[in-house]
Amino acid sequence: MKILHTSDWHLGKTLDGFSRQNEQGMFLEELSHILEREEIDMMLISGDIFDNPIPPFKAENMLYKYLKKYSKNGERPIIIISGNHDSPEKLEALNSLSMDYGIIFIGSINTIIPEGNYGKWSIIKSSEGFIKIDKDGETISIVTLPYINDKTILSQSEGEAKDVNLQKNYSKDIGELINKLTLSFSEDSINIVMAHLFLQNGEPSDSEREILGGSLLVNMNDLPTSPQVYALGHLHKTQNFIHEKSKMSYSGAPIKYSKSERRNKNSVNIIDMKRGMVPEIKREYLNDYKPIEIWTAYSTEEAIEICTKNKDKDCYVYFEIYCENFLERDLVSTLKKIKKDIVEIKPCLNASEMTWDETEDLNFKTMEEIFFDFYKFKKGKVPSSEIMNVFNEIIEDGGYNETN
Ligand SMILES: [Mn+2]
């Protein structure tokens, strides 16, 4: 059985306000070719399919159109769990329409998908967090664990619990939950866990670092090794771990979603599985639809030169300009006129040079100039024209009178 595992599509996500819809569309199109070329039997999507509980309608439209196509009219099961960015209720609301195509959304750990026929395959056993699928005589057992926050799962560590205890209890509770759910696994079946969580790579650690980016970690050692595969979502970089006889794999996001992800090689996983066997996980690399680059210049002249030379390059740019003084407002608009898709222009100064001159007589400056300088001082970059427009609207609305 060939299973395609992917996650973290974040449909509707922008890059600091720049729409990624074209790239997201290109991914969805490329995926339809991969599914056909690789003769994929089933697809698992491990959460964060949307970037937002209320995604832009174009993102929704695109998703539903493609999911229907991927399902091959109900032949190819598609199982989707929700991530921390999705609205569980919204996803599950789609089931009444999507189930006829064999597309199943699971938003919560309490969801029970009724036994019965879905498209051209069936669910022969189900309970909270568990489904057993029969497709053409082959059986696949899947534990489905959408993103769970600490408030949902932690009962014993209310209030006074320290961060470290919270972390340990969370990891232990998730481990116990998955362990309990995997009791439904059987030897006549392929056994998979789908989950949206932050896996900690086995090494014991009891520092505050365990709580990364607000997400609690799950220690690998707390997880059962009976599943052949953990098809995971949440981390955007593809990575695999082996824990005794379990393979734990993050497919990663299909698109680079931030400056820090610019060197990632994005892929989807193709998992070749037979019951009782160690599965083979192959990465299918995707096109880099539109790279994210950092450009550096050491003078305003050089910045203009670099922009002119690369003006036709289809990429997003984070521009770092090292200079002794703050950038002229004109330079920013000049650069953006030459090269489109400059996401940010950051003047790089020594911290000691970034001072706010309190002795300056503000009476000689307009409100706009004061705001501009203050923003630059606080953020280390000049405000975008959008921010300046919003600021100007606010002071106009407020009836601020500069002559007072
Ligand atoms: Mn996530």
The domains of the chain are located at 2-285, 292-397
CA 25 – ligand 1 centroid, Å: 20
User: What is the whole-number distance in angstroms between the Cα of residue 363 and the centre of ligand 1?
Assistant: 48
Measure 350 CA to ligand 1 centroid, in angstroms.
35
CA of 12 to the centre of ligand 1 (A): 14
List the structure tokens of 208: 């505050």
Question: Six-digit token pair at 398?
Answer: 């407020």
For residue 9, the CA-to-ligand 1 centroid distance in Å is: 10
DSSP summary character for residue 280:
E
Return the pLDDT at 322: 83
For the chain, give the mean pLDDT.
Answer: 88
**pLDDT tier for residue 348 given thresholds of 50, 70 and 90:** confident
Quote the ligand 1 centre to 236 CA distance (angstroms). Answer: 8
Q: Residue 14 is inside which H or E element, if any?
A: strand 14-15
Q: For residue 366, how far is its CA from the centre of ligand 1 (angstroms)?
A: 44
- DSSP, collapsed to helix, strand or coil, labels residue 362 as helix
Report pTM. Answer: 0.82
Q: How confident is the model at residue 335 (pLDDT cuts 50, 70, 90)?
A: very high
Q: Phi and psi at residue 139, in whole multiples of 5°?
A: -110, 140
Which structure tokens are listed for 28? 């969805």
CA-based torsion, 202, 208, 213, 216: positive or negative: positive
> Taking a C-beta distance cutoff of 8 angstroms, is the pair 256, 288 a contact?
yes
Q: What angle do CA 237, 238, 239 make, to 5 degrees?
A: 110
pLDDT of residue 161: 52
Spatial separation of the C-alpha atoms in residues 372 and 359, rounded to whole Å: 17
Helix axes 300-309, 329-338, angle to 10 degrees: 10
Q: Which residues hold their Cβ within 5 A of ligand 1, which is an ion?
A: 48, 83-84, 234
What is 2-285's CATH superfamily?
Answer: Metallo-dependent phosphatases (3.60.21.10)
pLDDT category at 388 given cuts 50, 70, 90 is: confident
CA of 8 to the centre of ligand 1 (A): 7
- Could you tell me the distance, in angstroms and rounded to a whole number, from the CA of residue 356 to the centre of ligand 1? 39
What confidence category does residue 372 fall into, taking pLDDT thresholds of 50, 70 and 90?
confident
Taking the centre of ligand 1 as the mean of its atom positions, its distance from the CA of residue 168, in whole angstroms, is 20
**Mean pLDDT for the stretch of residues 327-350:** 87
Residue 123, burial from CB neighbour count under 10 angstroms (0-12, 13-18, 19+): buried
Which H helix or E strand runs over 165? helix 163-181
Tens digit of pLDDT for each residue in 107-160? 999 999 999 999 999 999 999 999 999 999 999 999 999 998 777 765 544 554
How far away, in angstroms, is 206 Cα from ligand 1 center?
23
Q: Which of 373 and 215 is assigned the larger pLDDT?
A: 373
Average pLDDT over residues 187-194: 97
Contact assessment for residue 217 and residue 171, using Cβ atoms and an 8 Å cutoff: yes
346 C-alpha to center of ligand 1: Å?
A: 28
For residues 233 and 196, give the distance between their C-alpha atoms in angstroms, rounded to a whole number. Answer: 5
Q: What is the pLDDT of residue 40?
A: 98
The residue-averaged pLDDT of 200-218 equals 57
User: Contact, 191 vs 230, CB < 8 A?
Assistant: no
d(CA 114, CA 295): 54
